[in-house]
Amino acid sequence: MWPIRMQPTNLWWLMNPPMASPSTVPFLSCPSPETMRVLRSETESVRATPAGRWKHPQEAEPDPRIMEDKKRGRGLLLTLLLLSSPWLFVQGWILVAADDPGHTSMPTCPASTANCAYLSAESTVRMDAELTAVIDANVSEVWQAWVDWSEENNLRPGHTELGEGGERFAHGVAITPFWRFPDDVVVQFQPQGETTAIALYSASRLGVSDLGVNPDRLESLHRALVAVQGNS
């Protein structure tokens, strides 16, 4: 192998490699004292919360009174929901199960019933048999007494018929307080000269017992109808 002959110039460059110029070397310098004070101040102004979240001291702390009011409000709301849950359940039951019978003629109560009452000249169900079924007043006066009573007791109007011979028929819906159970009230008035034969019916759509509500309702209606006798 032939020996490599180095020129003097090449040998000098190998022994003295070129240095980078000062302009190509990154310049590193320490921050000024003023910059250090600013950094130290910002670092000390930030503190860690117990949950590990960094929080600036200027961030407002929650007012304990506001937090207590919110907690009390949530407790009250939960209590109301727990107390109202049976009522809401009953309203759902009524909505699903209490179908409107749509009475267009006088219904009758079952022979053995605890949620229906009936009064007429022919028969009575859970009503005092001594109550008169003939009102000593014309049918118009008896009808007006029924209209006034139904409005005073907030009955929802249903089917109504006014016969050519003076017969009157009406179906209304009574809503019980609080639980708002729907009860059907049906009346039929038949003119007999200057008197009026009445037939009264009241029944609950749901349940097996009305706790005496329907007989009490018909007694109240009967008193209102009988009261017109003194005005004739």
Domains of the chain: which residue ranges? 116-231
Confidence of residue 103 (pLDDT cuts 50, 70, 90): very high
Residue 71: per-residue pLDDT: 74
Phi/psi at 51 (5° precision): -80, -5
Q: Where do the DSSP E strands lie in 163-225?
A: 168-175, 182-192, 195-204
Q: How far apart are CA 158 and CA 168, in angstroms?
A: 13
Q: Which residue has 């009967």 as its token pair? A: 222
The overall average pLDDT reported for the chain is 81
The Cα-based distances of 220 to 3, 150, 153, 224 in angstroms read 137, 11, 10, 6
Residue 132: per-residue pLDDT: 96
Can you state the percent helix, strand and coil of the chain, rounding each to 5? Answer: 40, 20, 40
Confidence of residue 231 (pLDDT cuts 50, 70, 90): confident
Residue 73's SS3 state is helix
Give 182-215 pLDDT, tens digit per residue: 999 999 999 999 999 999 999 999 999 999 999 9
Residue 210: per-residue pLDDT: 94
pTM over 0.75: no
Indicate the DSSP class of residue 165. T
Q: Is the pLDDT of residue 14 over 60?
A: no
Q: How far apart are CA 107 and CA 69, in angstroms?
A: 56
Q: How far apart are CA 131 and CA 119, in angstroms?
A: 8
Give 126-158 pLDDT, tens digit per residue: 999 999 999 999 999 999 999 999 999 999 999
Q: Which fold has domain 116-231?
A: TATA-Binding Protein (3.30.310)
Give 17-47 pLDDT, tens digit per residue: 555 444 444 444 566 777 777 666 655 554 4
Phi/psi at 162 (5° precision): -120, 105
